[in-house]
Amino acid sequence: MPKVETLTKFEWEIMKQIWKSGRTTVREVHEALAPTQSRAYTTIQTYMERLVDKKYLSKKKIGLVNFYSARVKETDTLRRETSHFVKRAFDGSFSKLAAFLFDTQDFDEKDLEAIKRLIEEKEREND
Amino acid sequence: MPKVETLTKFEWEIMKQIWKSGRTTVREVHEALAPTQSRAYTTIQTYMERLVDKKYLSKKKIGLVNFYSARVKETDTLRRETSHFVKRAFDGSFSKLAAFLFDTQDFDEKDLEAIKRLIEEKEREND
DNA sequence: GTTCATCTACTACATTTGTAGTATAGTTAA
DNA sequence: TTAACTATACTACAAATGTAGTAGATGAAC
A12 interaction partners in chain B (CB closer than 8 Å): 88-89
Average pLDDT over residues B16-21: 95
Q: Are residues A50 and A108 in the same domain?
A: no
A40 and A84 together in one domain: yes
- Domain coverage including residue A43: 1-89
* Predicted local confidence at residue B73, as pLDDT: 94
Contact residues of B toward A, CB < 8 A: 9, 12, 75, 78-79, 81-82, 85, 88-90, 94-95, 97-102, 104-105, 107-109, 111-112, 114-116, 118-119, 121-123, 126
B126 and B99 in one domain?
Answer: yes
In angstroms, the CA B57 to CA B49 distance is 8
B72, B102: one domain: no
Same domain, A64 and A15: yes
Query: Which residues in B lie closer than 8 A to residue A126 (C-beta atoms)?
Result: 108-109, 112
Residue A10 and residue A49 share a domain: yes
Helix (H), strand (E) at residue A59: strand A57-62
DSSP SS3 for B54: coil
Q: What is the mean pLDDT of residues B19-37?
A: 94
Q: Helix (H, G, I), strand (E, B), or coil: what is residue B104?
A: helix
**Do both B50 and B105 map to the same domain?**
no
Direct distance between the N- and C-terminal alpha carbons of chain B, in angstroms, rounded to an integer: 34
Residue-level pLDDT, tens digit, chain A, 127 residues: 566 678 999 999 999 999 999 999 999 999 999 999 999 999 999 999 999 999 999 999 999 999 999 999 999 999 999 999 999 899 888 888 888 888 888 888 888 888 888 888 888 887 7
Q: Are residues A45 and A84 in the same domain?
A: yes
B108: left (phi over 0), alpha (psi -120 to 50) or beta: beta
pLDDT digits (tens, 9 = 90+) for B66-123: 999 999 999 999 999 999 999 989 988 888 888 888 888 888 888 888 888 888 888 8
pLDDT of A43 reads 97
User: What pLDDT is attached to residue B7?
Assistant: 93
Strand-pair partners of A70: A57
CATH assignment at residue A79: 1.10.10.10
Rounded to a whole number of angstroms, the distance from the CA of B45 to the nearest CA of chain A is: 21
Percent of chain B surpassing pLDDT 70: 97
Whether residues A70 and A112 fall in one domain: no
Q: Are residues B28 and B85 in the same domain?
A: yes
Whether pLDDT at B3 is above 80: no
pLDDT at residue B4, as a whole number: 66
- Residue contact A99–B105, C-beta within 8 A: no
Nucleotides of D under 7 A from a protein CB: 6-12, 16-22, 26-27
Reported ipTM exceeds the 0.90 cut: no
Measured distance CA(B21)–CA(A91) in Å, rounded: 17
| Higher-pLDDT residue of B117, B30 | B30
The verdict on B74 and B33 lying in the same domain is: yes
Chain A positions touching B89 (Cβ under 8 A) are 12, 78, 81-82, 85
Per-residue pLDDT averaged across B49-63, rounded?
95
Strand partners, A27: none
Q: Count the domains in chain A.
A: 2
How high is the pLDDT of residue B126?
75
